[in-house]
A and B are shown apart, each in its own frame.
Chain A
Amino acid sequence: MYLKGIYDASNVPGFALGSTMMGFSIIAKEAGFNFWMVMLTTATVWGMPGQVAFAGLYAVGASLFLIFIAVTLANMRMMLMVISGANILNIKKYKLSLFRQVIIFHLMAITSWAQIGHMKDKLIDDDLIKYYTGFSVSIFMFGMTGTLIGFYIGDIISNEILGILIFITPLYILLLVVNSKETFNKISVYLGGLLVIIFYPIAGTWSILISGIFGGSIALLLTYKLKK
């Protein structure tokens, strides 16, 4: 089952994630990250929206406090992903230590979470966790390789191609979140995107926080009002 996970990861999911990390690496290098900062960020954060938020704010010289808040909020959905993923994997059954659980969940990115959701009815619990391990470790390796390539590729390809590669990352994330299952999340995505365009010229990088709180709260309120 480990091998099946590795095999499945070595197709579209691995290459898609590798390209996305390549895009992140190019953005981060442009923002002023050195090689070790880029590699460490991918390895330790391992959550694309937070990584891009980090690089985006670092590029404009934002305060460390704002970086912390932005990355915290941008990767908040990790908690939900872990809650949902733990249930899919039936982690409780294995009585793992908290440390081992944290390692397992550190590897949980959108791709591997979506994959186990897709495979849960096809495999039994014991096979699913082995499959997840093979899949998520491979995806992590693809991500690290993409980050490594992305850091150096900027020196050998033209600015037009680089522009397209940088464009892929925000595009990929926006398309992923716009496809959210719940209506209020979808509305939040549209509102957050629109509000930041208005607030950024006034509030600079704080517009992220303002747009996030206003966008999310209004979306939730609207959804409840419409339901009533």
Chain B
Amino acid sequence: MNIEYTNLEKVLAIVLACLATGIWRLIGAIFYNKISEDGILIKWINAVAYSMVSAVMMMILVYPSGILANTSIEHRLIALGIGILLMVLYGRLIYAILISMISFGIFVTYL
């Protein structure tokens, strides 16, 4: 489902997305020798950031729009589960991605 944004909104969206990331880089550059990496505030910010990144990715996988919506949710989640299991057990990102991706390909093609 694509909802039309005006041209101005499109430009604004990109500027805001750029600022939203740049602001953290700028704060990091200004304060890198002043902010403690072990403080509670930083830990909370980090935890919320991780949680949100995960939420966005799960939203894409569980409630997708477009082409991914034509695949089955079971296939997506089982393939993801395989990847996470391999990652937790062996900690090798590249193998976890490859095996999970191949599993998903097999599910989509043959099941």
Contact = CB atoms under 8 A, between A and B. Distances in A.
Contacts of A79: 24-25, 27-28, 35, 45
A86 to B, nearest CB: 4
Interface in B24-54: 24-33, 35, 37, 42-54
A167 interface: yes
Contacts of A194: 58
A191 to B, nearest CB: 6
Interface stretch (A65-73, A115-123, A128-136, A139-147): A65-73
Contacts of A26: 67
Contact of B3 (A53, A60, A167, A169): A60
A10 interface: no
Given A72-B23, A102-B25, A171-B101, A56 B59 contact: yes
A158 to B, nearest CB: 10
Interface of A: 12, 16, 26-27, 30-32, 34, 37, 40-41, 44-47, 49-54, 56, 58-61, 64, 67-84, 86-87, 91-92, 98, 101-102, 105-106, 108, 159-160, 162-164, 166-180, 182, 184-185, 188-197, 200, 205, 207-209, 211-217, 219-220
5 closest cross-chain pairs (CB), A and B = A82-B28, A61-B3, A212-B52, A192-B51, A215-B51
Given A45-B20, A208-B56, 9 more contacts: A49-B53, A68-B16, A70-B56, A73-B52, A80-B28, A168-B101, A170-B61, A172-B97, A189-B50
Interface of B: 1-5, 9-10, 12-14, 16-33, 35, 37, 42-63, 65-68, 70-71, 76, 79-80, 83-84, 87-88, 91, 93-94, 96-97, 100-101, 104-105, 108-109
